[in-house]
Amino acid sequence: MAGSGRAAGVRGRHRARRRVFLENRGVPVGVTLPDRQLDELAEEASPFVRLAMVEDVLNLARANSLWPLTFGLACCAIEMMAVGMAKYDLDRFGAAVFRPSPRQADLMILAGTISRKMAPVIRTLWDQMPGPKWSIAMGGCTISGGPFKYPGEYAIAEGAEKFMRVDVHIPGCPPRPEALIAGILKLEEKIKQGRRLGRTG
């Protein structure tokens, strides 16, 4: 019974994609076409439908197998380490395989204060990560400079977005482990929707 429901859902998605394809080809909704012309349009649409479904599967796999870079900057890193322990069990969400090398990671969790001298190093690590890749700014210091942002300060970068792309912001000083888990789940939602996959900056 469950299998037939799934099959009906797939057929419904196929019909919806086919309708969108026909609309994009200038065929108004509700117009009845001869069978031959409809078959030709369906044949033309079929590779696009298949590719869209493959992309959906790839996004699902990417979202459920994130490999974060082992990269803590300050006190927020303690909360990030706690998330990797048994109490919070990040393995449930497919994101507990912290990698020691940027070439093996696809998620950078910036956890803590970013000094101006550290910013170019972070950017280099970000550039070394293969795409598609994502980043999370964890804590007030990473998002905007936090309590270190004041007139005349000279040592702290006022947020990671000054020099790289950030996909999810997690406010707090420091954010609790549950907040980081919520941020990772939010990122997984974005990946499943296929958002920002083409951007690597």
pLDDT digit string (tens) for the chain, length 201 residues = 544 555 455 455 555 555 555 555 554 455 555 666 666 666 666 555 555 677 788 888 888 889 999 888 999 999 998 998 888 888 888 888 899 899 999 999 999 999 999 999 999 999 999 989 999 999 999 999 888 888 888 899 988 999 999 999 999 998 999 999 999 999 999 998 875 444 445
Q: Name 46's Cβ contacts closer than 8 Å, sequence gap at least 6.
A: none
Question: Residue 11: what pLDDT?
Answer: 52
Q: How far apart are CA 25 and CA 13, in angstroms?
A: 18
Q: Which of 48, 63, 78 is where one domain is finished?
A: 63
User: What backbone torsions phi and psi does residue 54 show, to the nearest 5 degrees?
Assistant: -65, -45
Is residue 133 included in any domain, yes or no?
yes
Range of the domain at 152: 68-192
With respect to residue 200, please indicate whether it lies within any of the assigned structural domains: no
Please tell me whether residues 172 and 78 are part of one structural domain.
yes
The shares of helix, strand and coil residues in the chain, as percent rounded to the nearest 5, are 50, 10, 40
Mark whether 23 and 116 lie in a shared domain.
Answer: no
* Number of separate domains in the chain: 2
Q: Is 113 in the same domain as 138? A: yes
Residues 25 and 123 in one domain: no
Q: Is 198 inside a domain boundary?
A: no
Last residue of a domain, one of 23, 47, 63: 63
Same domain, 29 and 113: no
